[in-house]
Amino acid sequence: MEHLRIPIGKTIELTIDFITEHFSFATKAFADVTETGISFLVDTMMFFPPWVLIFIFAAIAFFLSRRKSIAAFTVLGLALIWNMGLWAPTVSTIALVLISTLIAMLIGLPLGILSALNSTAYRIIMPILDVMQTMPAFVYLIPAIPFFGLGPVGAIFSTVIFSMPPAIRLTCLGIKQVPVELVEAADSFGSTRSQKLFKLQLPMATPTIMAGINQTIMLALSMVVIAAMIGAKGLGGEVWKAIQRLEPDKGFEAGIAIVIVAIILDRIMQKAGAGQKTA
Amino acid sequence: MAHKIEVKNLYKIFGTHPEKALGLLKEGRTKDEILNKTGQGVGVADVSFHVDEGEILVIMGLSGSGKSTLVRCLNRLIEPSYGHILLEGKDVTKLNKEELRILRQTRFGMVFQHFALFPRRTVIKNVEYGLEIQKVDQAERQERAQAALEQVGLKGWENSYPSQLSGGMQQRVGLARALALDPDIMLMDEAFSALDPLIRRDMQDELLKLQEKMHKTIIFISHDLDEALKLGDRIILMKDGYIVQEGTAEEILTNPATRYVEKFVEDVDISKVLTAETIMKNPIEIASYAHDGPKAALWKMNQAGISSIFVQHKGRLEGIVTAEGAAAALKNGEKDLAGIVIRDIHKVSPETPANDLFPILAENSTPVAVVDKEERLLGVIVKGSLLAALSEGALGNGTS
Ligand SMILES: Nc1ncnc2c1ncn2[C@@H]1O[C@H](COP(=O)(O)OP(=O)(O)O)[C@@H](O)[C@H]1O
Ligand SMILES: [Mg+2]
């Protein structure tokens, strides 16, 4: 039986087609930039012997978190990954996460600032974020394929969209949380809007923004794993392969590697954020 | 002389339809009625006043009476709805954004109730803030901030963070931050209200001391009458957005304009505020050292119904003669007052607080003389007049 169907899916499909056709220059530019970024990052990391890179990571972990325990965990965790023969996919996953997070921040922080300072922007952006955050992660893979085909660029595209909301939300929150009296004080000295932003609001919001970035990184990591379905490779790719070949041992090893990477990134970011607070 | 700041018929109505509230205000409706009827909040209503150069004006009133709103209208942190603010004749309400910023940078220094220090900046960086905004170069900035810090007695604390300081010290930083810009007008919104009483008194003294050197024009908000009396050259009392009384401390205390003001002054220890000048009476009769003998003095006392009389000589107070003294001298046939005038008497200046008069009056049976610097007799205080003044104050506060 025929019935009248509201063409939501159809409209979205048409929009995607339209963008693919008419904005290919934009998708192409995005693809070029991210591809260059990924290969540069992966090449750089793979240039070092794994043990050198492990100590570099440990040093970074210590520098950001000021905690010996976190540095030690970094060394042991990454050594275990190396030992499991998962070094190359881990490096690739870390590269994907870093690039995605970077792009998500480049877009998310300005949007967060905008929504904090402009109530119209706030009213538009927040509902969109609500929808974005309730949408199942897999759905973001769909537009990636027509735009970028299979491969890491599409994965990054989906990851950026999936992981951006907390960066926007917490940047906005951090700025809005600055006490009114402080903003008044800044105003009473004749600050311009940007002076107020850079000298008061952003510094005060930093711990909250860092928490947002932390969440973005964690979401990016989880999405990068899921994006193996559209050819992201990396640790997610290993899991995906193990599922298809029914190799639970390989699958779990890759899973453990993902957990290790997640813990390292989370601890570093948490401590980096907390360290900012008392500075 | 033109006033430093003159505020004319200033209104601040919170809400999207201030014109509705304005109409109702002019009909004499109350703030609550207007809020219920139109949803518009009346912050400040038809306020006019002036401040002169170098003066401390205290704006006083209960919480919610519109003090903070009013003071924020002056530098337009809150945009006034209607009315004019003239700063040296120039209308602040007409300035564009850029002019307003310059005005805030150069003319107004603001100190906040809860200090409003920037928590992630060190003390010195807090004090430098205003200079940083004006892009003053690093060396000069630091020098001026340092000077301001020393002015408020915080040398040595430059590199601490606000959270490491006590409340009183934090507010000194707040004060220094405003002073570093050397503004000619200071806006202080309950600047000392968050401090405990002892520290608070210190800060009040400190402010008065600084003011002796600086001669700024200060608008000081307070909800505390004692503070207002101590600091204010003049006091404005606000209620529900309106000014209900304006005047010196004494004018307000001795002559409260409304029941609201009375309630406000109820708790004040009148004897702290009344001075010798307000209590003293004109001497009914004075004896002249050069011309009057014991007989004349006695006659004057009889006429006036008093038992002692002050003696003046060449415009100066010479001493006092009692009726007994004069009578004895008369018996002995003395011709002048030289032998009986008591020179060792209590003299007080017109500013002496009533509190200090009690012990003096208790010790002496004769009246106390109020004299100026040239020892001219201005008035006399007898026990009765002090008590009368006090009970008048108490009566005014308690009953009507
Ligand atoms: N931003 C605002 N929006 C609405 N009403 C306000 C706002 N600020 C102050 N008011 C109202 O204006 C009145 C005066 O407040 P305020 O100036 O803070 O009083 P005070 O400083 O004397 O305690 C109060 O009734 C208050 O509720
Ligand atoms: Mg207030």
- pLDDT tens per residue, range A231-242: 888 999 999 999
Closest C-alpha to ligand 1, atom 10: B43
If one compares B188 and B337, the residue with the highest pLDDT of the two is B188
Residue of A nearest to B178 (CA): A189
Cβ distance of B133 and A190 shorter than 8 Å = yes
Range B141-167 average pLDDT? 94
A193 touches chain B (CB under 8 A): no
The pLDDT score that the predictor gives to residue A274 is 63
B319-345 tens-digit pLDDT:
998 888 888 888 888 888 888 888 888
List residues bridging with A265 in a β-sheet. Answer: none
The pLDDT score that the predictor gives to residue B394 is 46
CATH of A8-278, one of 3.10.450.50, 3.40.50.300, 2.60.40.10, 1.10.3720.10: 1.10.3720.10
Cβ distance of A181 and B112 shorter than 8 Å = yes
Q: How far is the CA of B70 from the centre of ligand 2 (A)?
A: 9
d(CA B117, nearest CA chain A) in Å: 7
Q: Confirm whether the ipTM is greater than 0.90.
A: no
CA-to-CA distance for B149 and B137, rounded, in angstroms? 18
Q: Which among A184, A191, A204 has the least Cβ separation from residue B133? A: A191
Answer yes or no: do B213 and B302 share one domain: no
Answer yes or no: do B198 and B223 share one domain: yes
Question: Which residue of A177, A189, A197, A208 is the best one to mutate when testing the B interface, meaning the one whose CB has the most B CBs within 10 A?
Answer: A189
Amino acid at B251: E
Total domains, chain B: 2
Residue A121: pLDDT band (50, 70, 90) is very high
CA B266 to chain centre: 17
Q: How far is CA B376 from CA A71, B279, B318, B337, B349, in A?
A: 86, 17, 9, 19, 10
CA-to-CA distance for A129 and A115, rounded, in angstroms? 11
**Of the residues B269, B304, B334, the one at which a domain ends:** B269
The pLDDT score that the predictor gives to residue B1 is 59
CA B171 to chain centre: 21
The CATH number linked to B381 is 3.10.580.10
The pLDDT score that the predictor gives to residue B270 is 65
Q: How many CB atoms lie within 10 A of CB B110?
A: 28
CB-CB neighbors (< 8 A) of A192 in chain B: 101, 133
Answer yes or no: do B304 and B221 share one domain: no
Residue B6: pLDDT band (50, 70, 90) is very high
Answer yes or no: do B67 and B166 share one domain: yes
Residue that is written with structure tokens 């306020």 in the block: B47
Cβ of B63 less than 6 Å from ligand 1: yes
List residues bridging with B91 in a β-sheet. Answer: B86
Residue B302, in any domain of the structure: yes
Cβ of B64 less than 6 Å from ligand 1: yes
Helix, strand and coil percent figures for chain A, each rounded to 5: 90, 0, 10
Q: Select from B332, B331, B345, B340 the least CA-distant residue to B292.
A: B340
**Of the residues B213, B241, B269, the one at which a domain ends:** B269
CA-to-CA distance for B102 and A183, rounded, in angstroms? 17
Can you give the residue range of the structural domain that contains B180?
Answer: 54-73+97-269
